[in-house]
Amino acid sequence: MCYIYNKVKLSVVIVSYNVKYYLEQCLSSLYRSLKGLEFEIFVVDNHSKDGSVEYLSERFPNVRLIGSPHNLGFARANNLAIGESRGEYVLLLNPDTVVGESTIRDTLRFMDEHPDAGSLGVRMMDAKGTDAKESRRGLPSPMVAFYKMSGLCARFPKSKRFGHYYMGYLPWDSPSAIEVVSGAFCLLRKEALEKVGLLDEDFFMYGEDIDLSYRVLKGGYKNYYYPSYILHYKGESTQKSSFRYVHVFYEAMFIFFRKHYSGMSVLLSLPIKAAIYAKAMVALCKMQLGKAKRSLGFVSPVWASSLYVFVGSEKMLQTCRSLAQRKGLAARFFVCDAGKLEQGGIEQFDVDGVPANAVSYVVFDTGTFNYDQIFASFSNQPDEMRRFAFFHPDTGKLVTEHEILW
């Protein structure tokens, strides 16, 4: 029997490991953004232990779910799905993201209008509404890498020389040509992938996006940043204080150097190696100190002194009052619709008498608000002590950056 596979506009590939509820939220937002488009979605599960495959196959029967018996790593798992994809474009998406309703359509239109575009990234924000620096990055040449690891990049973020790694001199509100597109949201032209090759499987967890971006540029295409919001819970700060993060991240940088800068002199390679080992040791010390403080009771989890501010319809608030009572949450409740949110902004939900060290989670009803509206409200006034969260009426789950409650 011969099967004929029709082309689609977009193939979405998500690699997942033990994050079934965040992935559920990601897929729900993705379906909103894909409305009216021809698409297919692949989820490659890297041998999760939390029942992800069974849970998601029941909730999303139209998703192509590939359950690997082993942890293949990010690059190999993505390649597995890309090899079966039929899209004109391929979107690599992290499971801990939330996509705005306009994001997919706007970015596809930009790619259609720019045939020189090989890949595209977007404006990622964290749960505080702060722009994620890794939304725009430069290639980590030996000198650029040295400036980052020596702290010069952080000291002079808007310098074209010292701040090139995060390209902090570029405007946030307009499209720009960049060098590296983050693997958290990487929209690729399939034609470009076929020309330059898939992700390099020598990279297990970090660095494959840098390598692919470089090969896209060498293939004669451009990489672009487009200012459409998505939420990325982990972002650049993911496990930054952990020894494993530092070791794996900078080891990936070494792989990149060996592959693309094989002629790098010893005078350059030795300082970079020294910086890598120094950062790894600092990270290990910080991690051990943090563990000691927590074990002695000097540090409380962020959510231990949290206030939950529920915002939405009367029906949603009634359900959430019951949830807050069952879970013993300190909570406030505001009836609000999209018009009132746009008019009054996020500050209308500020509550008096909250301790200075308490984090306020503004929990939005996803049945009342769309994600574009929520992102816009938070991006206008990011606040270190205020985070946004979601309540999903269809599942009854409250999702924050740290926890899932129902």
Radius of gyration of the chain measured on its C-alpha atoms: 22
CB 140 within 8 A of CB 256: yes
Whole-angstrom Cα distance, residue 64 to residue 164?
39
Whole-angstrom Cα distance, residue 127 to residue 382?
9
Give per-residue pLDDT as tens, 357-399.
Answer: 889 999 999 999 999 999 999 887 778 889 999 999 999 999 9
Angle at alpha carbon of residue 395, lines to 387 and 307, rounded to 5°: 25
CB 332 within 8 A of CB 309: yes
Residues facing residue 368 across a β-bridge: none
DSSP-derived pairing of the beta strands 307-312 and 330-335: parallel
Decide: helix, strand or coil at residue 42: strand
For domain 8-237, the CATH superfamily is Spore Coat Polysaccharide Biosynthesis Protein SpsA; Chain A (3.90.550.10)
Cβ-based neighbours of 384, under 8 Å, separated by 6 or more: 128
Q: Which of 231, 393, 406 is nearest to 312 (CA)?
A: 393
DSSP annotation of 234 reads S
CA dihedral 76, 82, 84, 88 (to 10 degrees): -170
Whole-angstrom Cα distance, residue 69 to residue 48?
9
Whole-angstrom Cα distance, residue 333 to residue 324?
10
The residue extents of the domains of the chain are 8-237, 243-295, 302-405
CB 16 within 8 A of CB 43: yes
Q: What is the pTM of this model?
A: 0.88
335 backbone φψ class: left, alpha, beta (φ>0; ψ -120 to 50): beta
Whole-angstrom Cα distance, residue 391 to residue 313?
11
The identity of residue 45, as a single letter, is D
Whole-angstrom Cα distance, residue 42 to residue 62?
9
Q: Which two tokens stand for residue 356?
A: 């200075």
Q: Which two tokens stand for residue 56?
A: 């998601």
Q: Which two tokens stand for residue 167?
A: 């390209």
Provide the residue-wise pLDDT of the chain in tens; the chain has 406 residues: 344 468 999 999 999 999 999 999 999 999 999 999 999 999 999 999 999 999 999 999 999 999 999 888 889 999 999 999 999 999 999 999 999 999 999 999 999 999 999 999 999 999 999 999 999 999 988 788 788 878 899 999 999 999 999 999 999 999 999 999 999 999 999 999 999 999 988 765 677 898 899 999 999 999 999 999 999 997 433 445 455 666 666 666 666 766 666 666 666 667 666 766 676 677 667 767 766 776 666 555 544 579 999 999 999 999 999 999 999 999 999 999 999 999 988 889 988 877 778 899 999 999 999 999 999 998 877 788 899 999 999 999 999 999 999 9
* Cα→Cα distances 303→42, 288, 292, Å: 33, 21, 19
Whole-angstrom Cα distance, residue 345 to residue 310?
15
Q: Which two tokens stand for residue 121?
A: 């990234």
Evaluate the CA torsion angle 69, 73, 76, 82 in order and state its sign: positive
Give per-residue pLDDT as tens, 22-39.
Answer: 999 999 999 999 999 999
Q: What is the CATH number of domain 302-405?
A: 3.40.50
